[in-house]
Structure formats: structure tokens, C-alpha cells
Amino acid sequence: MSVPQRKVVLAASAVIFEGGSVLLVEREHPPAAGYWSFPGGHICAGEAPQAAAIREVREETGLEPEILGCFCEREIESLGPDGSRSTTYQLSVFAGVIRAGAVPVAASDAAQARFVPFAELEQYRLTSGAEDVIRSAWAYLYDEVLQAGLRRGER
């Protein structure tokens, strides 16, 4: 009896902040259709993970983010119709910001796109672990990146 091979997909996503809000997109297609998460998707052959994250934000929202760093790597398992693991996504997650007043427009595989204030996150059907990733990205940006810049006299 042969064991089906799991597919491994390299992917990137971006947690983008504007003030006290985070950029979210509602997924239009399975496996996460109807759930809200960050712009992201597969990394093309020869593409750097950060470039893929920027491309995905642009494709899904029309926005040009400023990426400030990769703050975590995650592995996500997708289940096949029979409940078995069919795909492993090796995800590089980036954090960044956008200019004030930018307005996202849903495109590509996003049904909707918007900036969501932190206080309203509980009103959205988020993908598994998304809220924890948002909080980790916020801590990374403001505790590590921006504070380090301020200590060096930047901005």
C-alpha cells in the first residue's frame, strides 16, 4: 500500500498596520473561503519571500506596503477531502506599515479587504491563529524595530 505524498508549498504573508488597525482580507476561495486573514500566498520560483509578501499585498489589496522585517516562520497543514494532510505550507510572515489614509481594494482571491481596528478583531471570523500572529507582529514592530530605531536616533 502506497502512502500519498504531501505537497510542500513555500508561501509568504504580510501583517500590515496603519495606526491601530491591521490590514485583513476575506478569503474568496477554499480552503479558507469566508475567513479573514492577512494578504499572502505562494512564493514564485526564484522569488524572495519578502518580494512575494509585497506582491501578494499588492495583488490582493492594491496597496504598496513598507515591509520592516520577517518576524516568524510557520508551518500550516491543509487537509484533503478525506481528512488527511495533503499540503504543508511553509510560511514566512512579514510585518510592515502603510501610509496613513491608504484604502485597500479587494482583488485577486480576496472577496473583501479593509483595515480593522484591534478592538474589532473579535467581530471577524479569523483564520486559526491569526489574532496571535497580529499581536506578535505588533510587538515585533513596536518593541523591536521602531524602538531600536528610536534608540539609534532614526525617524
**Each residue's pLDDT tens digit, 37-53:** 999 999 999 999 999 99
Residue 19 is classified by DSSP as T
The residue among 7, 19, 11, 1 whose CA lies nearest residue 141 is 19
**Each residue's pLDDT tens digit, 69-127:** 999 999 888 766 666 667 888 999 999 999 888 999 999 989 999 999 999 999 999 99
- Cβ of 35: how many Cβ atoms within 10 Å? 16
Predicted confidence (pLDDT) at residue 58 exceeds the cutoff of 70 = yes
Predicted confidence (pLDDT) at residue 147 exceeds the cutoff of 70 = no
Write down the mean pLDDT value for the chain. 88
Predicted confidence (pLDDT) at residue 155 exceeds the cutoff of 60 = no
Torsion of CA 95, 78, 129, 90, to 10 degrees: -30
